[in-house]
Amino acid sequence: MSSQKKILVIGSNGQIGTVLTKTLGQKFGFENVIGSDLRMPDTPTKFIFEECSVLNKEKLERIINRYNISDVYLLAAYLSAKGEKNIDKAWDLNMNGLLHILNFAKEKKIQKIFWPSSIAVFGPSTPKNNVPQYTITEPTTIYGVSKLAGETLCNYYHSKFGIDIRSIRYPGIIGWESMPGGGTTDYAVDIFHEALKHQEYTCFLSRDRTLPMMYMNDAIQATIGIMEAQVDKIKIRTSYNLSSCHFSPNDLAEEIKKHIPSFKIKYKVDERDTLAQGWPSSINDRHARNDWGWEPNFNLSQIVSDIILNLRNRYKK
């Protein structure tokens, strides 16, 4: 295998994949980054793109061999809300996709894997605030169940076969460059677009449903940060707790009003609020900070200012 890092991002059209693939290209050279997803991206990309499902093991293997892939970021997943409507498919994609990639590493076809877990591994029996790394994990969504099983699988492959797999438990991720799909925390992205276009947003979570959240820039920094950390710094091979800020729809709306005073939020709560009800309000991430130097850069007011600035440019508002 050549010493040049060659990166494959699976799920490169998704909310995080879009920004991650671009950032990896800027950092390591677009000729060294291959994006893959179920369908072609809407706009041309600077990186190489391959249409492929993570469930298509043969095609994936051909891509890995063709480009001599060393590092895989596996982002393709059914998220919480969509997963509840497609339980079998969510389990299949979330588990078999991961298993394929772990087995490529076991067969020494790739060297390093990033796979995200989520705060959805926690459930109603987990403490609500400042949730420690090691605590009760009894998820109540198929997404959370698959992420918890995936964490255990990663740890098993690491201890049994020495696979270098690295993982963080993403909170809700918000940004302006890409749209989320199928998650419970999606409201915190939609709200900005509606605020700028219509000065009004109807929220599907309840007013005070506080959840752990993070700006996209911090999520990307954490993702590349854990992958680039020296191997001896990675002491947890299930998945690291990761935290930046936490807020409710009401907190977010109040912050948006500082920029768009006429903005109004209404509430029409649906089943996604029940999913969110089982999740923690805030997370303790001291292991990530101590082990590999994680530190977030954006608080709520900085996130809101940055998103509004960028979306105002886009919408010319």
Tell me the longest C-alpha to C-alpha distance in the chain. Answer: 58
Nearer to ligand AKB, 48 or 119 (CB): 119
Nearer to ligand AKB, 159 or 277 (CB): 277
Strands 245-247 vs 211-215: parallel, antiparallel or unpaired: antiparallel
CB of 143 to ligand AKB, least distance (A): 6
CB of 109 to ligand AKB, least distance (A): 28
Nearer to ligand AKB, 21 or 184 (CB): 184
The active-site residue, picked from 78, 143, 170, 215, is 143
Strands 211-215 vs 164-166: parallel, antiparallel or unpaired: unpaired
CB of 115 to ligand AKB, least distance (A): 13
Q: Is 182 left (phi over 0), alpha (psi -120 to 50) or beta?
A: left
Report the distance separating Cα 165 and Cα 155, nearest Å: 8
Q: Is the dihedral of CA 158, 161, 164, 170 positive or negative?
A: negative
63 with 8: CB under 8 angstroms?
A: yes
The answer to whether 134 is a known catalytic residue is no
Amino acid present at 170: Y
Residue numbers of the site for ligand AKB (CB under 6 A)? 79-80, 118-120, 143, 170, 172, 183-185
Task: Give the contacts of 44 (CB within 8 A, at least 6 positions apart).
Answer: none
CB of 264 to ligand AKB, least distance (A): 24
How much is the CA Rg of the chain, to the nearest whole Å? 19
Nearer to ligand AKB, 47 or 143 (CB): 143
Residue 235 CA, chain-centre distance (Å), reads 21
**CA nearest to 21, candidates 186, 180, 224, 182:** 224
Nearer to ligand AKB, 143 or 247 (CB): 143
CB of 166 to ligand AKB, least distance (A): 17
Position closest to ligand AKB via CB: 183
Active site residues: 143
